[in-house]
Amino acid sequence: MFSAEGLTSARLFRSVVSLIILALLMWFLLGVLEKEIRKAEQQSAQLVLNQLRAALVIKGAEVMLTQSERLEQYEGLNPFELVEHQWRNYAGRCHNSRNELGTWCFRQKKQKETVNAGGGWLIYTANQPITLQGRGVAAGQALAWTVTTDYADRNKNGRREQDERSTGLRLVPVSFDDNPVLMQDARH
């Protein structure tokens, strides 16, 4: 009824169809896996930022309670120094222009290439294309933050006036030339 050649062709056809279906499933699963890896890195970086912000709130409150120091003395501080935790993805001070992917480091400001200016930027180099606080970055690109004082903006103009007092410490996004990143700029 069925020839041997027909059965062989049917088996070959089923094998090819099975391999195509398997390849499509693998392609779909790899896409989902990549998306989940991206989401995990984004959540991990956001968690680190949240913990550093909490440490800055505590340090700001301590400074305001002691009244022996000023909040302005802590501008540019490395916030990792405030947390007693061994961060696996914190490399310490940045030593070169290209950091390892998926790591944090602290880049010290310099004056005239030789003298440290006291302060600097917290740098995160993304391993995947991610978005942190409305700022998108491609894999291998870096985002920067700096510690600055928060203040009571009584006239709501977004700028610190001389009569507006400091209210704490905060971590703000910056570009590498130390200019604060405006959120409308960060979306582009």
> Residue 77's domain spans which residues?
4-186
pLDDT of residue 187 exceeding 60, the answer is no
**How many domains, in total, are found in the chain?**
1
* Torsion 35-41-43-46 (CA) sign: negative
Give per-residue pLDDT as tens, 86-108.
778 888 888 776 778 889 999 88
pLDDT of residue 184 exceeding 60, the answer is no
Weakest-pLDDT range from 16-20, 63-67, 144-148, 154-158: 154-158
Q: pLDDT confidence of 16, banded at 50, 70, 90?
A: very high
* Torsion 67-68-74-78 (CA) sign: negative
Q: pLDDT confidence of 133, banded at 50, 70, 90?
A: confident
Average of per-residue pLDDT across 148-166: 75
What global pTM score does this model have?
Answer: 0.74
